[in-house]
Every structure is written in structure tokens, then in C-alpha cells.
Amino acid sequence: MGNDPQEKLIRATTVIESLINKCEKSLQKIAGKTSQHTLLTNRIEALKIALDLIEKEMKK
């Protein structure tokens, strides 16, 4: 595992994309308007924001 910040950001991007994908698949199995559905929707939104911030940082 390297100490290169760019490498760490790339790995983080991969992990977050995987989490978003898994959450979106789980969301399809959960009925709407439940607390689980809301929680998962909020998690997906937060992960997408994190991914955007990482991508902006990588462009610097």
C-alpha cells in the first residue's frame, strides 16, 4: 500500500462506486416509504457527494 495521495483517492473512488452500486441494488428490494428505504436513499446521496468531492480533489 503506497503513501501516494492520488493512489489513495483512486482506491477510495473504487470502493465508493462499489458501495453505491450495492446500495442501489438493495434499494430495489426495499418497499418505498420505509425507514430502511429512506436510510438507504440518504446513504446513496452521501456516497455520491463524497465521490464528487474526491473527483474534484483528483483534478487539482
Mean pLDDT of the chain: 93
Residue 23 lies inside a defined structural domain of this protein: no
* Cα–Cα nearest to 14, from 56, 47, 60: 47
Residue 25 lies inside a defined structural domain of this protein: no
Q: How many Cβ atoms sit within 10 Å of the Cβ of residue 11? A: 12
Let me know if residue 45 belongs to a domain. yes
In a domain, 2, yes or no: no
Residue-range definition of the domain harbouring residue 50: 31-60
Amino acid sitting at position 44: I
CA distance 60 to 54: 10
Asked if residue 27 lies in contact with residue 40, where contact means CB atoms within 8 angstroms, the answer is yes
Report the domain count for the chain. 1
Residue in the block written with cell 474534484: 56
pLDDT of residue 2: 60
Name the percent of the chain lying above pLDDT 90.
Answer: 83
Is residue 5 in some structural domain?
no
Range of lowest pLDDT (19-23, 28-32, 46-50, 54-58): 28-32
